């Protein structure tokens, strides 16, 4: 016999289950949308940072080039053996008393004066060999040796040659730790009188080296760093300093033009305008050859940096200073 079974009622989701499902879906969608928004923000910031870093590098490259070229020049006019005045491409970093090598001239030429306006260097004597346009002009070290031993405390040196030296040169003698200045030179006897006695005795053959002016700077405005600082591209004319805080320190920055000469740089992807700023300072340690450079890229209407760079630049010529 068949037993009658009443039909079962179909059961759906309860109201609580529906609400829980809606809550889960809503949470998932919300979190996913937030993740997408955050990802989009980071993508834009990444693009801005990459562009800003590129702009900073574009501004730094000319500085590095100037650091490499400092105290390196070329003749802009041919020079005969009667010439004592050299017309050069640059006089940056050269100073009176420096010894020069001019093209193929085998003699060591000494600078008498430098004219920064006319870009000329006047020598103490005429060239020994005629030179053509483009001949390289570079500083050299004035060097000689003792021909007689010198006792401690003596202020007079007898040397192999005095032809390259001038009164006022600062000398490093043998292993002496302090420099001695030249107060007088007697070419006939090849003697040099110092401004102070030697701190120790020296044997014949010990070296006597003149330290170039920039190598022995006693003030921040006379070292290699200052010479390089004066060669940097000028700030945008008429612009005011911009205060920017980096690592908790507020600094005043100058607005500099981009490689196209514009005071603002546009990011094509974001459609915003930005400013490239630069701050320079000379390290407060003799011989003042380190130039500290800080860069910051900020939006046109803000002072909050999107990228910064802090670096130090030392002109190549500083590494050729006698140690």
Q: Which two tokens stand for residue 166?
A: 């001038």
> In the predicted model, what is the mean pLDDT of residues 46-66?
85
Confidence at residue 304, expressed as pLDDT on a 0 to 100 scale: 87
Q: Which two tokens stand for residue 122?
A: 């006047």
CA dihedral 215, 289, 112, 174 (to 10 degrees): 0
Higher pLDDT, 120 or 175: 120
Confidence at residue 121, expressed as pLDDT on a 0 to 100 scale: 93
The answer to whether 99 and 211 are in contact (CB under 8 A) is no
Q: Is it the case that residue 323 has pLDDT exceeding 60?
A: no
Q: Is it the case that residue 163 has pLDDT exceeding 80?
A: no
Q: What is the mean pLDDT of the chain?
A: 83
Q: What angle do CA 108, 113, 116 make, to 5 degrees?
A: 120
Neighbours of 231 (CB within 10 A): 17
Identify which of 31-40, 80-89, 242-251, 264-273 has the greatest average pLDDT: 80-89
Q: 97 — alpha (psi -120 to 50), left (phi > 0) or beta?
A: left
What phi and psi values does residue 50 have, to the nearest 5 degrees? -60, -40
Q: Is it the case that residue 65 has pLDDT exceeding 80?
A: yes
């Amino acid at each position: 016999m068949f037993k009658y079974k009443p039909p079962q009622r179909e059961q759906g989701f309860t109201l609580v289950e529906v609400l829980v499902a809606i809550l889960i879906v809503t949470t998932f969608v919300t979190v996913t949308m937030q993740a997408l928004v955050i990802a989009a923000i980071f993508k834009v910031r990444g693009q801005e940072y990459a562009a800003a870093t590129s702009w900073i590098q574009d501004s730094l490259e000319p500085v590095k080039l100037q650091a490499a070229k400092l105290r390196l020049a070329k003749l802009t006019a041919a020079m005969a053996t009667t010439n004592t005045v050299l017309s050069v491409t640059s006089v940056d970093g050269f100073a009176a008393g420096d010894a020069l090598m001019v093209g193929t001239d085998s003699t060591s030429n000494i600078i008498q004066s430098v004219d920064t306006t006319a870009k000329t260097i006047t020598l103490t004597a005429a060239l020994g060999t005629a030179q053509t346009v483009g001949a390289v002009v570079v500083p050299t070290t004035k060097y000689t040796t003792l021909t007689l031993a010198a006792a401690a405390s003596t202020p007079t040196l007898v040397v192999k040659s005095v032809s390259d030296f001038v009164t006022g040169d600062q000398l490093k003698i043998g292993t002496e730790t302090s420099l001695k200045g030249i107060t007088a030179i007697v070419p006939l006897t090849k003697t040099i009188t110092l401004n102070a006695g030697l701190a120790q005795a020296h044997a014949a053959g010990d070296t006597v080296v003149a330290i170039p002016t920039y190598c022995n700077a006693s003030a921040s405005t006379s070292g290699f760093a200052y010479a390089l600082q004066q060669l940097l591209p000028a700030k945008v004319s008429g612009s005011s300093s911009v205060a920017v805080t980096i690592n908790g320190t507020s600094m005043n920055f100058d607005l500099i033009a981009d490689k196209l000469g514009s005071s603002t740089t546009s990011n094509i992807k974001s459609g915003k305008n930005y400013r490239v700023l630069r701050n320079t300072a000379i390290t407060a340690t003799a011989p003042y050859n380190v130039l500290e450079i800080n860069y910051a890229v900020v939006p046109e209407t803000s002072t909050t940096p999107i990228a910064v760079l802090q670096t130090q630049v030392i002109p190549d010529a500083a590494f050729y200073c006698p140690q």
